[in-house]
Amino acid sequence: MPASPSYRTDALIADDIDAYLELHRRKSLLRFITCGSVDDGKSTLIGRLLYDSKMIFDDQLAVLEADSRRNGTQGGGIDFALLVDGLAAEREQGITIDVAYRFFATEKRKFIVADTPGHEQYTRNMVTGASTADLAVILIDARKGVLTQTRRHSYLAHLLGIRNLVLAVNKMDLIGYDRHAYDAIVADYAAFAASIGIESFVPMPISGLAGDNIATRSANMLWYDGPCLIEHLETVPLDVVSEQAMPFRMPVQMVKRPDPNFRGFSGLIAAGSVRPGDRVRVLPSGRETRVSRIVTFDGDLPLAVAGQSVTLTLADEVDCSRGDVLAAASAPPQTADQFEATIVWMSDEPMLPGRSYLLKLAAQTVSAQIQAPKYQVNVNTMAEMPARTLELNAIGVANLFTDRPLVFEPYVESRTLGGFILIDKISNATVAAGLLHFALRRASNVHWQALEVDRAAHAALKNQQPRVLWFTGLSGAGKSTIANLVEKKLHAAGRHTFLLDGDNIRHGLCRDLGFTDADRVENIRRVGEVARLMADAGLIVLTAFISPFRAERRMVRELMAPGEFVEIHVDTPLAEAERRDVKGLYAKARRGELHNFTGIDSPYEPPERAEITVDTSGMTAEEAAEMIVARLFA
Amino acid sequence: MSVQAVRVEPSPVSLSHLQRLEADSIHIMQEVMAEAERPVMLYSVGKDSAVMLHLARKAFHPAPPPFPLLHVDTTWKFQEMYRMRDRMAAESGMELLVHRNPDAMARGINPFDHGALHTDLWKTEGLKQALDLHGFDAAFGGARRDEEKSRAKERIFSFRSANHRWDPKTQRPELWRLYNARKNKGESVRVFPLSNWTELDIWQYIQLESIPIVPLYFAAPRLTVERDGMLLMVDDERFRLLPDEVPVERSIRFRTLGCYPLTGAVESTAATLPEVIQEMLLTTTSERQGRAIDKDATASMEKKKQEGYF
């Protein structure tokens, strides 16, 4: 292995540590991502960067040498790739299963490298790594040229808003440092890059294994007159600097009230700069005021810029809480509740259009429903394909609706105010990442109509409190029978009621829906909305739907006023429901003539805390109805 | 007549890597405060804890950090560490909770007789006990990703099951600066605000911000014995000398601090921060080399973490 100069001057450290520290105090920070598979020499390149910058110590090197002899692929030589394969499970399988972060520094900059693996989990991991990167190094094996995965990596880096791309044509040593082969690869890539809207990229011929054009320009390729990799990484302009030139934005993370005389708003400045006296607007409320002070532990500041965490005090007592955004009054961001967005699905459970997910954007957390995708993007060909849902690692474009307005900017203008995650309300897992494109015009034009005869007025005239009695349970459990009896009793008592029955609804309102998970979710969403309108009209609504998923029942519950939604679990064991089989459906499902049948090949998630549970093996339908009426209307 | 103020746009302010790391760490701490019900800061009294505490004071200024400090004590820390711990708790205005595993105490578990069991019972079990006892649902820790290979893949918000186990395969993706802090019943989260700091960053920040650290990090003449290739400091009368061992005064310092009978010192004359950093930069061994815990097996840290070690 040729000797490679280190990126730091040991002489200066030894001779004048104070001068060295002064130099290092002013280093800037660049975050980048390396894209490529094991075959492209990605781990070797990262290992090389760490090794050359002396981030590897002797004891680690000793382990590495032992590991290289045991598991290495370099015939006893040092296998740099082993340096960055973190978890024992991965080392045994020879794959990297996740995003890992590596660190090294030169005289000018500190670097954080997101290292993502190249196998099938790639999209999820690469999107994660790219979300915080200023720059992407796209690795190509010089022997193979531009491959499908090169296109995929480039598309994802571009999608995530990385403007600085390096095309590192690796393993030049294996093709005899051939300039023509290199030029052909670069021309090939340039044509592709232009086709997906990549405006510029920096190509360079390298060898991670041999160290060519990594820390110094290679003597083996005098025909190349561009920068070596480190040189480029040290000088490329930082996003955090260009962000300072944009209008001021600070999402409020927390409000500090240590005593009655102090009210400060804390957050990390996402864009622009701020000074005491600047006019700012509080969004979404739209109130304007001025910044009084920029408060920090180290004293008040005259100026703060993008990338700093600060606490601002304001001149007026304006309403402002976590999730609000403080913005330049002259150029505030928009507010909307309907969007088009790119969604990257990251969960084993596919996306369910219509299901309500939590959406977190900056410090705002709201409920959001995603519509069925307009299309899915094939990340290898960039072709748009029709899709009804999105599965793990799929990328699609869809509309989404939030239950409250979001302060936002298109992702291409702001990663902070345009990038979001989706969280499953039951499992609490992060299931997707999203990039906002724009607000749908409908959102700003369709306002809630303020009605003068409101729901309280409707209910008062009927002299009753609106309720939604939501019967849930297996097919054949007795939901419709019991709901019918309850309605008869209420009607006889002079109550204004309405029964929505699963089978009847599917003949009309929901006749376009089938029985896939996605369609079941949409079915319940529609029923929930209708039930809400009826409750607004002052009615006692009864519904009888299998409604197998907790998430949807919870979604409907959240539509209603507190206390209005009453979940009634008609609890009949599967064996008993199947024995009754009133409609002959279980027999059909067992014969395989009916698919997605709840209890047979589609799950039923029983309620965890139903207001009322009816055990049909212990009472008749009549007794159950009496019990429900007694519990609710006594 | 009015004079229109013309604002001259300044040339961009260049934030240093330390300023950006600081801002991101503060952001993380404020997110935890906003989303967790009962956070706590694990305070081990080492240099990383010192930086973490300092960042917390910055994050919640002008008030003191709104959570307690938790020291999971093994009773075998260096005396100077106990002094520093009490001083910093007082200075920061934070409540200090000290937990000592009563089981380990009753059984007289110590580093001389019990080897790995000592760490397991006092630290790993002790930590679980303390978190359960107080019902903490989020615990800040000072671990860094550059310390050890399995740390490089751990999230900043790292979830633990109800029995405190870490499952590296079900980690949540962390995009942008968006942290999903929502927990399932019984789960807790360990949060590592120093994830992206390196050892050099820590030292430089300590120097820049004049953060107090335990004097053991600086070289001084101290009583030592050499055992199994490690230099151990005879910190108090409980140190058990082997029959032919005689403590010798050497100029030593420590790169990491833990239980004194398990923490190896290095011979050094570096008595100031710049000298310590100089030595760190010119040294050829990593800082964990001084810890007996990592030498068990290649993947020992990963295994310990899965079992609940911080």
Per-residue pLDDT reduced to its tens digit, A510-547: 888 888 888 888 888 899 999 999 999 999 999 999 99
How many Cβ contacts (< 8 angstroms) between chains A and B? 207
What number is the average pLDDT over the span A13-29?
A: 82
Task: Quote the pLDDT of residue B6.
Answer: 46
Q: How far is CA A169 from CA A139, A296, B91, B220, in A?
A: 6, 46, 55, 52
Between CA A399 and CA B152 the distance in angstroms is 36
Cβ contact A346–B299 (<8 Å): no
Question: How do A565-571 and A467-472 pair as beta strands?
Answer: parallel
CA angle (A427 as vertex; A424, A432 as ends), nearest 5: 35
Q: Which residues of A touch B172 (CB under 8 A)?
A: 429-430
A10-237: CATH homologous superfamily? P-loop containing nucleotide triphosphate hydrolases (3.40.50.300)
The residues with which A328 forms a beta bridge, in sequence order, are: A280
Long-range contacts of A149-152 (CB under 8 A, 24+ apart): A149/A36, A149/A37, A149/A118, A149/A122, A149/A380, A150/A189, A150/A192, A151/A192, A151/A196, A151/A380, A151/A381, A151/A382, A152/A122, A152/A123, A152/A379, A152/A380
Closest CB from A17, A100, A128 relative to B152: A100
The residues with which B138 forms a beta bridge, in sequence order, are: B39, B189
Q: Which residues of A touch B91 (CB under 8 A)?
A: none
Between CA A427 and CA A437 the distance in angstroms is 28
Quick check: A344 and A359 in contact, CB under 8 A?
A: no
For residue A247, with 0-12 CB atoms within 10 Å meaning exposed, 13-18 middle and 19 or more buried, which class applies? middle
Delimiting residues of CATH 3.40.50.300 domain(s) in chain A = 10-237, 455-633
- Select B17-201's CATH number: 3.40.1080.10, 3.30.360.10, 3.40.50.620, 3.40.50.2000: 3.40.50.620
Whether B307 shows a pLDDT value over 80: the answer reads: no
Residue A153 assigned as binding residue: no
B277 interface with A at CB cutoff 8 Å: yes
What number is the average pLDDT over the span A309-329?
A: 94
- Select A455-633's CATH number: 1.10.10.10, 3.40.1050.10, 3.40.50.300, 3.90.1150.10: 3.40.50.300
What number is the average pLDDT over the span B241-260?
A: 90
The residue of chain A nearest to residue B34, with distances taken between CA atoms, is A254
B248 interface with A at CB cutoff 8 Å: no
Interface of B with A in 30-49 (CB under 8 A): 30-31, 33-34
Q: Which residues of A touch B175 (CB under 8 A)?
A: 127-128, 131-132, 419, 421, 433
Between CA A299 and CA B133 the distance in angstroms is 38
Maximum separation of any 2 CA atoms in chain B, in Å: 94
Quick check: B146 and A110 in contact, CB under 8 A?
A: no
Q: Which residues of B touch A131 (CB under 8 A)?
A: 175-176
B306 interface with A at CB cutoff 8 Å: no
B66 interface with A at CB cutoff 8 Å: no
Which of these is catalytic: A273, A356, A414, A547? Answer: A547
Between CA A467 and CA A483 the distance in angstroms is 13
For B294, list phi and psi in degrees, rounded to 5: -85, -5
Cβ contact B277–A256 (<8 Å): no
CA proximity to A545, closest of A568, A564, A562:
A568
Testing the interface with A: which of B28, B177, B293 to mutate, by most A Cβ within 10 A? Answer: B177
Between CA A595 and CA A589 the distance in angstroms is 6
Quick check: A287 and A281 in contact, CB under 8 A?
A: yes
What number is the average pLDDT over the span A431-451?
A: 71
The pLDDT > 90 percentage for chain A reads: 51
Q: Which residues of B touch A125 (CB under 8 A)?
A: 173
Q: Which residues of A touch B169 (CB under 8 A)?
A: 89, 97
CATH 3.30.710.10 fits A243-328, yes or no: no
Residue A475 assigned as binding residue: yes
ipTM exceeding the 0.85 mark: yes
Between CA A477 and CA A572 the distance in angstroms is 5
The residue of chain B nearest to residue A11, with distances taken between CA atoms, is B282
Between CA A407 and CA A321 the distance in angstroms is 13
Task: Quote the pLDDT of residue A65.
Answer: 66
Whether A356 shows a pLDDT value over 50: the answer reads: yes
Between CA A249 and CA A104 the distance in angstroms is 31
Whether B23 shows a pLDDT value over 60: the answer reads: yes
The per-residue pLDDT for range A82-131, each reduced to its tens digit, is 666 554 555 555 444 577 888 888 888 999 998 876 665 678 888 989 99
Structure tokens at A177: 């440092």
A334-445: CATH homologous superfamily? Translation factors (2.40.30.10)
Question: Which of the four pLDDT bands, split at 50, 70 and 90, describes residue A32?
Answer: very high
Higher pLDDT, A616 or A249: A249
Residue A171 assigned as binding residue: yes
Delimiting residues of CATH 2.40.30.10 domain(s) in chain A = 243-328, 334-445
Closest CB from A127, A361, A421 relative to B180: A421
Task: Quote the pLDDT of residue A84.
Answer: 61
Under 8 Å CB-to-CB from A134, ≥6 apart: which residues?
A: A30, A31, A32, A162, A164, A236, A238, A239, A240
The residue of chain B nearest to residue A161, with distances taken between CA atoms, is B176
Q: Which residues of A touch B185 (CB under 8 A)?
A: none
The per-residue pLDDT for range A497-512, each reduced to its tens digit, is 999 987 778 888 888 8
The residue of chain B nearest to residue A241, with distances taken between CA atoms, is B12
B145 interface with A at CB cutoff 8 Å: yes
Residue A473 assigned as binding residue: yes
Task: Quote the pLDDT of residue A395.
Answer: 93
The SS3 of residue B16 is coil
Phi-psi domain of B184 (left: phi exceeds 0; alpha: psi -120 through 50; beta: other): beta
Task: Quote the pLDDT of residue A137.
Answer: 95
Cβ contact A105–B289 (<8 Å): no
Q: Domain map of chain B by residue range?
A: 17-201, 215-300
Between CA B280 and CA B270 the distance in angstroms is 10
Task: Quote the pLDDT of residue B164.
Answer: 74
Closest CB from A105, A309, A428 relative to B200: A105
The amino acid occupying position B14 is S
Residue A602: active-site member: no
Q: What is chain B's Cα-based Rg?
A: 21
Between CA A410 and CA A17 the distance in angstroms is 46
CA proximity to A333, closest of A286, A273, A274, A264:
A286
